[in-house]
Amino acid sequence: NADSDLDDSRQAGGWEDSTQSEKKSKGDSLASYQRMRGRNRLRCYTSRLLGRVVRDGDLSVVLPDSFMLQELVDTEETYVKDLEHVCKHHLALYRSGNDIPTVIRGRERDLFGNIECLMQFHRDMFVPKVRRCVKNPAEVGACFADHIKDLDQYSQFFGDTARQEELLLDPSVKGFFQPIQAELKDMMNLQGYLMRPFQRLTRYRQLLEGLMKHMEPVLDDKGKENLSFALRLVKYQLRHSNDLRSLALLRGFDGNISEQGTLLLQEEFSVTEEKKAKKKPRRVFLFEQTILFSKPGANSSSPSFEYKASMKMSDIGLTETVGDNLCKFLIWYRKQKSKNTIILEAKSEGVKAEWVHEIRSLLEVQATRLRERLASQRSVDSLATPTPGVVIKTDVKPTRRQKSEP
């Protein structure tokens, strides 16, 4: 029977009924279409949250740069409002001169720094420029690169307010500013507001790193250069602020800290004197002229660093590796006394490499200057040596035609 043979072949799976096949095909197509439509809906929804949608054929690619730039604008405007709040209320109260606590009297700069200048720069110059970048993302790096000197006001702020935290913890200072917080029903106290410049730099770094990741493939060389420079600038200001804050916590150093040159690095190390097994935690400060060792204070609620010792950079040598430990290096007095040989162990290979590079550079500069000085001295000595038959007069009385030096 032909019909029976047909049914058997269908049951055996040799081939399908055309109607069933058509239904299955339509079902698969519908399911596939629904899945594709769902993905596109998700992409479009995500794009509204995260950024622009760039269509390439049937594909939608989400670019988060617009989202990050809009966040930069929104948070920048909030930041300006916070700075204005401090100037309008806290700084104004201080300048009123009424019942100012003795501990902060005459110390406006130590407490507020140049916060008014920061506020004016961001409000009048930086915010308008950042707003324009939302429509032209390639210009975001130039916003920072064009304002190097203005952004350097952060160094001044952190330098001026290095002892700010110490002042704000004083009970009389807390009591002086607390009524403002209560009157305005403010969720944040003055200490929180004065942390905003540091927090802002941290946010700049995060946003710039994100923009570097997502925008670098589509930027031209100038755009990449500006964005990279902006990120380096912000990282420098962040590190410099940390250095100044740590240096302000140093206690017991009798010398003039400004005479030690620029503070280049500061970090915590495990320090061991050679032939002594005991490691000691030390906060180490590297200046152009000096390397300084300090001990972390015992009071965790009021952090500080107690001065322990220092070495002139002109007196030391450097050994870049110590055994198989990639985190250790060694500095020593050139007299080679073992008791003056110090092993420093960093927390990571990266920290060790940075310190070794910086110390090596300082020593190379010193060596170059010494060679130049010796060469100059030899030149002077050769001129001062009399040639046979020639008399060199070292004290010539001025004649009327000559003018005496003032």
CA angle 119, 121, 122 (to 5 degrees): 70
pLDDT at 383: 63
pLDDT at 68: 85
- Dihedral class, residue 261 (left if φ above 0, else alpha if ψ from -120 to 50, else beta): left
Output the 3-class SS for the chain: CHHHHHHHHHHCCCCCCHHHHHHHHHHHHHHHHHHHHHHHHHHHHHHHHHCEEEEECCEEEEECHHHHHHHHHHHHHHHHHHHHHHHHHHHHHHHHCCCCCHHHCCCHHHHHCCHHHHHHHHHHHHHHHHHHHCCCHHHHHHHHHCCHHHHCHHHHHHHHCCCHHHHHCCHHHHHHHHHHHHHCCCCCCHHHHHCHHHHHHHHHHHHHHHHHHHHHHHCCHHHHHHHHHHHHHHHHHHHHHHHHHHHHCEECCCCCHHHHCCEEEEEEEEEEECCCCCCEEEEEEEECCEEEEEEECCCCCCCCEEEEEEEEHHHEEEECCECCECCEEEEEECCCCHHHEEEEECCCHHHHHHHHHHHHHHHHHHHHHHHHHHHHHHHHHHHHCCCCCCCCCCCCCCCCCCCCCC
Over residues 86-100, the pLDDT tens digits come to 999 999 999 998 899
Low-confidence stretches of the chain (pLDDT beneath 50): 1-28, 33, 37-63, 389-406
pLDDT at 393: 37
pLDDT at 32: 52
pLDDT at 336: 60
- Dihedral class, residue 295 (left if φ above 0, else alpha if ψ from -120 to 50, else beta): beta
pLDDT at 201: 95
pLDDT at 3: 43
pLDDT at 35: 52
Q: With 0-12 CB in 10 A as exposed, 13-18 as middle and 19+ as buried, what is 228?
A: middle
Q: What is the pTM of this model?
A: 0.67
Over residues 287-335, the pLDDT tens digits come to 999 999 999 987 766 778 999 999 999 899 999 999 889 999 999 988 6
pLDDT at 108: 95
